Amino acid sequence: MYPKSDMDIYVFPLDAEVVGHWLIARGYQFVPWSADTPEKTFEKALAEMDPLIESVTPAAARERELYGIPNVRDVFTFKKRLHEGDQDPLQVQIVVSDITPVQAVLGFHATMVMNFITWDRVVSLYPAGTFEHRRALVTYNLAKHFDSAMIKYAARGFRIDSTLFDDKTTRGSFKFGTRWVGDSHCWVVKLDTAGLTPPAVPVQWEVNSWDLGYHVDHNPVETFGACAIKSSPIRSIIFRHRYCVTNGFFDYLLQVMKTQGNYEFERMQAMELAPGVGPAYGQAKPEGFC
C-alpha cells in the first residue's frame, strides 16, 4: 500500500446510486469535483451524469472519449475522516463505466494498473510485468494527467515502456495477441467468501477478452502511442450483464444473438421476466437490436 492511496470502485452504468448510498450510510461524505459547488449533493451529481453511451450519437461518443476518461461515464468521490482533524481522510471513488468495468480497466493509460478485485477473487491482467519485472507498457497516452501518472509510477520503481521492439511482441510479459480474464498469463487469487451471499446472477468475468497490438493494426490515432488494447462492448437481452470481447469473438456472438436473442426475448415475455441489462436495462427491445 502506497502512502495516500485510495480505493476505486468500478461499477456498471446504472449501479452508482446504490453503491454511493451504501458508502454514505457508512459515514462517507460525497465530495463534488469543483470547489465552486461545495453544496452539490450526490443526488444532484447523479442527475447531471452523462447519458448512457448507447443513447448518444457516434460524434458525441467520440467527443466524450476525447475529453473524458476512456470507457467511463462518470466518477464520484467520497471521503471519511476517522477522527476529528484528520488530515488524510479515507477516500473512495466510484468509477461508473460506460459499458462494463473490465473495459474501463482496459482503457487505463498503462498495464501496471490493470488489476481489480471482485467479491470473490483478485485479478491481475499483466502480473509478470507489473510484479516481477516492475515494467509497464503504455497503451493510451491521451488520458488526463498522463504525464503526472507516468512520473508517479516511475518514482515507485516502474520502468515505463512507450513501445515494444518486434522481438518482444511474440514473447515476454507483453506478448501481442488475444487475451482474456483468467487466462494462463493472468494471476487470479480466490478469496475466502465464507459467510457471504453470492450474487443471484454472477458476472462471468472469463467472458471478457481483448487484443494487444500495435496501433497500426487497430485504426490508430497518431497521438495515442505505439501500442493499444482493443475490445468491443457486447450487450444483449441474452446476457444479464455486459461484457467486452475481441472483434473476432464479437462477430461470432453477433451471429448467435441474431437468432437466439429473439427467442430469449419472447421467452422472457411469456414468463413475465425482465430482460437482462441489454439495450436499455429492461426496457422494451429496440427495433433491430439482438
Task: Give me the DSSP letters along 51-85.
Answer: PPGGGS-HHHHHHHHHHS-TTEEEEEEEEE-SSTT
29, pLDDT greater than 80: yes
pTM above 0.85, yes or no: no
Cα–Cα distances (Å) from 157 to 123, 132, 168, 170, 175, in that order, read 21, 12, 21, 25, 22
C-alpha span between 256 and 153 (Å, rounded):
43
Domain ranges (residues) in the chain: 1-98, 108-230, 247-290
User: What is residue 30's three-state secondary structure?
Assistant: strand
- Closest by CA position to 102, among listed 121, 119, 117: 117
280, pLDDT greater than 70: no
In sequence order, what are the residues at sequence separation of 6 or more whose Cβ sits closer than 8 angstroms to the Cβ of residue 287? Answer: none
3-state helix, strand, coil in the chain (%, to 5): 30, 20, 45
Helix ranges restricted to H, the chain: 16-25, 42-47, 58-67, 101-106, 127, 146-155, 247-270
* pLDDT tens digit sequence for 137-196: 998 877 667 888 899 999 999 999 988 887 788 888 999 999 999 999 999 999 999 999
Q: How confident is the model at residue 266 (pLDDT cuts 50, 70, 90)?
A: confident
* pLDDT tens digit sequence for 204-254: 999 999 999 887 644 444 444 478 899 988 877 777 788 999 988 998 888
